């Protein structure tokens, strides 16, 4: 019944600032729950089956707080434009294809396979506005074994005609239909309300979404303060909003009783940051995306020090790949440039801090996820760094940092466990 012991070189965040490293450690899973990491196996766990990964690095499963599944097809390309033009020229035309369920089946098949083989165990995912395609994605995500929130997008204005929904009521109706259609269908795949971003959603639609949120007590995901032109646009669309996030908060869709994650927050003003903090809104920090679309760099050090809830997002396809280890290194790199070029008082993130964000930080959106401490949901990833030999004797923690910077997970991981179950490689 999902009870076993993993042996290996175990690393996990013992707090926000420090990765604990246990060479030849024993990691205990009882009924899908972590019971901790031990230098020698406690007597009460003797007799449990041992999954022996001696010499390999064992870490908690990684959490992706922001990823666009339908954009997977053009990842790693077409990053020569800034946000709004990039949406209109690349993202929207690609997403429009998902009206075709055959295309969705094929494309989401590729996406789900990649996610299954990745080091990600938990993800918060944007689909498209199409309900059939979104259900196809959820079917496939369920099969991956990954725990995920998946959102059918709402967007009733300012898109290209073939993608835009035909009105607020149509968008709301489709959302009802989608949620009812998938009710009780999945064990690890959950719906999340997904107003694309303020420029895509009329007031009428936001009002409808609030009703839907209340009816089903759904969490919410969206985008916030990513790009300067976008922020100006929101200001002109919602002159009554005090700042960008207020355009969500006016409709009751910004934290508080509603579990909320907002991607980017590159240019959040002080009041917006304070609203995020007070309302417990999660920031999905997407450093690679922010560089690729020339958006800028989010002040993640500030968010962390203020005690905001912060995790990391790959933000495919503005981010290139699904590796959350890479996202952690990109977060460190971006924070160094923030320190050097923007604010000399804003110290860079350490790798230990970035790893915390990629595990516990984002995991918090799912509950007790992202750690091996006693009581956490058991998710784990086994990494093999044997392909990168060195003359140095390294601690597991240093090997983990190296594996992250060398993208060793992109060539395949050794094993992955979610909810105490081993996930098959496909």
As measured in angstroms, the least distance from the Cβ of 3 to a second copy is: 35
As measured in angstroms, the least distance from the Cβ of 78 to a second copy is: 8
8 Å CB contact between 225 and 245 = yes
As measured in angstroms, the least distance from the Cβ of 199 to a second copy is: 21
d(CA 17, CA 11): 13
As measured in angstroms, the least distance from the Cβ of 185 to a second copy is: 25
Q: Which is nearer to a second copy, 258 or 381 (CB)?
A: 381
As measured in angstroms, the least distance from the Cβ of 363 to a second copy is: 24
Q: Which is nearer to a second copy, 112 or 258 (CB)?
A: 112
317 preceded by cis ω (within 30°)?
Answer: yes
8 Å CB contact between 292 and 264 = no
As measured in angstroms, the least distance from the Cβ of 406 to a second copy is: 5
Q: In the chain, what is the greatest distance between 2 CA atoms, to the nearest angstrom?
A: 65
Q: Which is nearer to a second copy, 41 or 406 (CB)?
A: 406
Q: Which is nearer to a second copy, 34 or 292 (CB)?
A: 292
Q: Which is nearer to a second copy, 48 or 394 (CB)?
A: 394
- Which SS3 state, helix, strand or coil, does residue 302 take? helix
d(CA 363, CA 418): 12
Q: Which is nearer to a second copy, 68 or 309 (CB)?
A: 68
Q: Which is nearer to a second copy, 39 or 342 (CB)?
A: 342
**Backbone Cα Rg of the chain:** 21
Q: Which is nearer to a second copy, 236 or 344 (CB)?
A: 344
As measured in angstroms, the least distance from the Cβ of 309 to a second copy is: 25
DSSP states of 207-247: HHHHHHHHHHT--EEEEES--HHHHHHHHHH-TTSSSTTHH
As measured in angstroms, the least distance from the Cβ of 202 to a second copy is: 31
Residues 112/118/125/351 CA torsion (nearest 10 deg): -170
Q: Residue 91, CB half-sphere, CA atoms under 13 Å: how many? A: 27
Q: Which is nearer to a second copy, 75 or 223 (CB)?
A: 75
8 Å CB contact between 263 and 315 = yes
Binding site residues, a second copy, CB under 8 A: 72-77, 79-80, 103, 106-107, 110, 291-292, 294-297, 320-321, 332-333, 336-337, 339-342, 348, 350-351, 388-392, 394, 398, 401-407, 410-412
Q: Which is nearer to a second copy, 78 or 241 (CB)?
A: 78
d(CA 290, CA 319): 8
As measured in angstroms, the least distance from the Cβ of 67 to a second copy is: 15
Q: Which is nearer to a second copy, 201 or 358 (CB)?
A: 358
What is the layout of strands, in order, in the sheet containing 120-126? 62-68, 120-126, 147-151, 189-191
Query: Which of 32, 37, 31 lies closest to 7, judged by CA?
Result: 37
Residues near 309 by Cβ (< 8 Å), separated by ≥ 6?
280, 281, 282, 283, 361, 364, 365
d(CA 145, CA 381): 13
d(CA 276, CA 254): 8
Query: Which of 24, 36, 52 lies closest to 395, judged by CA?
Result: 24
As measured in angstroms, the least distance from the Cβ of 141 to a second copy is: 18
d(CA 111, CA 63): 16
Number of H-type helices and E-type strands within the chain: 15, 17
As measured in angstroms, the least distance from the Cβ of 156 to a second copy is: 27
d(CA 246, CA 237): 12
């Amino acid at each position: 019944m999902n009870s076993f012991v993993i042996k290996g070189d175990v690393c996990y965040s013992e707090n926000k600032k420090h990765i604990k490293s246990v060479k030849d450690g024993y990691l205990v899973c009882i009924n899908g729950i972590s019971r901790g990491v031990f230098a020698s196996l406690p007597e009460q766990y003797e007799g449990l089956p041992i999954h022996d990964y001696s010499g390999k690095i064992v870490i908690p499963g990684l959490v992706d707080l922001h990823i666009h599944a339908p954009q997977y097809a053009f990842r790693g390309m077409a990053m020569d434009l800034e946000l709004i033009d990039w949406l209109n020229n690349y993202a929207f035309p690609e997403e429009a294809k998902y009206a075709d369920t055959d295309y969705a089946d094929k494309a989401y098949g590729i996406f789900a396979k990649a996610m299954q083989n990745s080091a990600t165990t938990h993800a918060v995912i944007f689909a498209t506005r199409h309900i059939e395609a979104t259900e196809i994605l959820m079917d496939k995500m369920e099969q991956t074994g990954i725990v995920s929130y998946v959102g059918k997008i709402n967007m009733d204005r300012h898109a290209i005609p073939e993608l835009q929904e035909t009105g607020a009521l149509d968008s709301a109706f489709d959302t009802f239909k989608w949620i009812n259609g998938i009710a009780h269908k999945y064990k690890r795949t959950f719906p999340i309300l997904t107003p694309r971003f303020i420029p895509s959603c009329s007031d009428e639609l936001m009002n409808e979404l609030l009703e839907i949120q209340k009816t089903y007590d759904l969490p919410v995901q969206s985008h916030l303060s990513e790009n300067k032109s976008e922020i100006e646009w929101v200001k002109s669309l919602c002159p009554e909003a005090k700042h960008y996030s207020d355009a969500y908060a006016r409709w009751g869709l910004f934290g508080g009783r509603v579990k909320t994650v907002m991607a980017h927050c590159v240019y959040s003003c002080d009041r917006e940051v304070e609203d995020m903090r007070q309302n417990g809104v999660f920031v999905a920090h997407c450093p690679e995306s922010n560089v690729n679309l020339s958006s800028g760099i989010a002040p993640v050090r500030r968010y962390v020090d203020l005690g905001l809830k912060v995790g990391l997002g790959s933000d495919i396809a503005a981010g290139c790949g699904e590796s959350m280890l890479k996202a952690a290194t990109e977060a460190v790199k971006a924070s160094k440039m923030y320190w050097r070029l923007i604010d000399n008082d804003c110290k860079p993130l350490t790798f230990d801090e970035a790893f915390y964000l990629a595990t516990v930080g984002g995991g918090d959106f799912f509950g007790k996820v992202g750690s091996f401490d006693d009581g956490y949901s058991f998710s784990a990833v086994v990494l093999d760094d044997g392909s990168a030999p060195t003359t140095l004797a390294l601690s597991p923690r240093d090997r983990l940092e190296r594996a992250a910077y060398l993208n060793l997970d992109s060539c395949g991981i050794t094993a992955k466990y979610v909810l105490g179950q081993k996930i098959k490689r496909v």
